[in-house]
């Protein structure tokens, strides 16, 4: 049983709880929130698989300590569903205060599960944060929805993401720009393409790109999956995979386990293409010497899957005021500009840069143009994530078909 299935089983057995606790801080009284946060320690459960991101969170921790006397402790996780299980286990045990998770980096099916069973701090708080005024809700509507669900202030947007493909202009100047063309290329060049093994996040994202591209009715993906809908929509996905699998790297008998391993194979020129869910990832990897300077990003014709990612506060967090201060700092123009810098992280901002005060807009203007970063004008339509229920079905079907070899 997968970890997410364990979470789902626990959720099914758990009754929905009532309203927020009376002691919760009121973000509309921000001065009181900052006063209460002073001296608190915030345990931030966030993916720890990327050194640049870890270093950025360390910088945020330094700013919080110096400016707000808040200690931020990064609890590095590999699978956010495990954090959901942790909060859920505490709720099952009646631990409604003093929880071990104060803030969690989250989106997708994990957010949907926590919302469905009231595992998040209520009422909605994100849109009351002082720095929410800078968020680009018009130009980046994905900051208001997560896996087809409205966030309703239960989580605060932190950054943007979109599936971007990478090619080396020296070895593959004209890469395939559709999934049909990619299948032709894989057949013609055996062993030169692969993808991370689901349920790795990037591997699952690639499966969802296939789903969105080939589904006969894309609107059906906005609704919870049914057996009939899955058979119809996923059939073309597995037709594509059946066609290419024998021609993948290592004949599809083994897969890279992470984006880092995929990038290494690409850097060593064992494979011709890589992909990432961070449009600035190639630039940062080039700067770190992980990829050659001849690598360039591109999007598939017709667009690629994208979303926003968020931070959320569990209903039983021990340091809620501190977590609110952290979420607000993460939305500040200074923190967002540093995060967008490809030399730091390269994660696209959720802010409306054009609407920022001059001094803050200058932080973004100072970011040098980089040929390894796609300009906003080149970012073709973003394809909306399918309903979260499709993710587990895709992963389970993939594992049953290709996982045991």
CB 190 within 8 A of CB 245: no
CB 274 within 8 A of CB 206: no
Quickly state the pLDDT bin for 379 (edges 50, 70, 90): low
Neighbour count for residue 219 (Cβ, 10 Å): 7
For the domain made up of 3-160+307-370, give the CATH fold: D-Maltodextrin-Binding Protein; domain 2 (3.40.190)
pLDDT at 313 over 90: yes
pLDDT at 226 over 50: yes
Task: Check residue 405 and give its pLDDT.
Answer: 53
* 291 or 379, greater pLDDT: 291
Task: Check residue 358 and give its pLDDT.
Answer: 95
Quickly state the pLDDT bin for 377 (edges 50, 70, 90): low
pLDDT at 241 over 50: yes
Task: Check residue 276 and give its pLDDT.
Answer: 94
Instruction: Say if strands 41-47 and 71-77 run parallel, antiparallel, or are unpaired.
Output: parallel
| Residues 187/188/193/199 CA torsion (nearest 10 deg) | -10
* 16 or 340, greater pLDDT: 340
Using CA atoms, how far residue 389 sits from 5, 94, 221, 234, 382, in Å, is 12, 28, 9, 13, 20
Least confidently predicted of 13-17, 126-130, 170-174, 318-322: 13-17
Task: Check residue 20 and give its pLDDT.
Answer: 44
Share of the chain above pLDDT 70, in %: 92
Quickly state the pLDDT bin for 375 (edges 50, 70, 90): low
What is the phi/psi pair of residue 382, to 5°?
A: -85, 130
Cis peptide before 123 (omega within 30 of 0): yes
Say yes or no: domain 164-306+384-403 is CATH 3.40.50.300. no
Fold match flag (3-160+307-370 vs 164-306+384-403): yes
pLDDT at 176 over 90: yes
d(CA 354, CA 231): 45
CB 6 within 8 A of CB 83: no
Structure tokens at 402: 């290709």
Using CA atoms, how far residue 355 sits from 127, 312, 358, 379, in Å, is 17, 25, 9, 20
d(CA 229, CA 81): 25
Nearest to 129 by CA among 100, 160, 157, 159: 157
Tell me which DSSP letter residue 215 carries.
Answer: -
- Boundaries of every domain in the chain: 3-160+307-370, 164-306+384-403
Query: Which sign, positive or negative, has the C-alpha torsion 273, 274, 275, 278?
Result: negative
Task: Check residue 244 and give its pLDDT.
Answer: 98
Task: Check residue 71 and give its pLDDT.
Answer: 98
Least confidently predicted of 97-106, 184-193, 215-224: 215-224
């Amino acid at each position: 049983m997968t970890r997410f299935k364990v979470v789902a089983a626990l959720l099914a057995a758990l009754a929905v709880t009532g309203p927020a606790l009376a002691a919760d801080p009121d973000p509309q009284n921000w001065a009181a929130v900052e006063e209460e946060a002073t001296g608190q320690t915030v345990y931030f459960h966030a993916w720890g698989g990327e050194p640049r991101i870890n270093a950025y969170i360390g910088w945020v921790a330094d700013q919080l300590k110096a400016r707000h006397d808040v200690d931020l402790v990064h609890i590095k996780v590999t699978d956010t569903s495990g954090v959901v299980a942790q909060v859920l286990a505490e709720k099952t045990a009646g631990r409604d205060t003093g929880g071990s998770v104060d803030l969690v980096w989250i989106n997708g099916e994990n957010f949907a599960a926590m919302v469905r069973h009231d595992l998040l701090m209520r009422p909605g708080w994100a849109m009351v944060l002082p720095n929410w005024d800078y968020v680009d809700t018009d130009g980046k509507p994905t900051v208001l929805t997560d896996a087809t669900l409205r966030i309703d202030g239960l989580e605060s947007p932190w950054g943007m993401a979109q599936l971007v493909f990478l090619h080396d202009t020296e070895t593959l100047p004209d890469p395939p720009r559709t999934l049909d063309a990619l299948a032709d290329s894989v057949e013609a060049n055996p062993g030169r393409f692969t993808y991370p093994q689901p349920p790795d996040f990037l591997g699952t994202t690639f499966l969802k790109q296939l789903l969105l591209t080939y589904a006969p009715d894309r609107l059906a993906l906005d609704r919870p999956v049914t057996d009939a809908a899955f058979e119809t929509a996923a059939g073309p996905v597995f037709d594509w995979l059946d066609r290419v699998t024998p021609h993948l790297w290592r004949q599809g008998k083994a897969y890279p386990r992470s984006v880092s391993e995929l990038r290494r194979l690409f850097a060593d020129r064992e494979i011709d293409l890589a992909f990432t869910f961070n449009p600035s990832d190639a630039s940062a990897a080039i700067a770190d010497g992980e990829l050659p300077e001849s690598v360039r990003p591109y999007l598939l014709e017709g667009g690629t899957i994208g979303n926003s990612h968020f931070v959320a506060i569990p209903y039983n967090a021990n340091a809620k005021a501190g977590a609110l201060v952290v979420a607000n700092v993460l939305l500040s123009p200074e923190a967002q500009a540093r995060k967008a810098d490809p030399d730091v992280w390269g994660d696209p901002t959720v802010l409306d840069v054009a609407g920022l005060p001059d001094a803050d807009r200058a932080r973004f203007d100072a970011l040098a143009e980089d040929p390894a970063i796609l300009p906003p004008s080149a970012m073709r339509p973003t394809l909306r994530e399918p309903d979260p229920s499709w993710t587990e079905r895709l992963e389970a079907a993939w594992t049953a078909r290709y996982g045991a070899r």
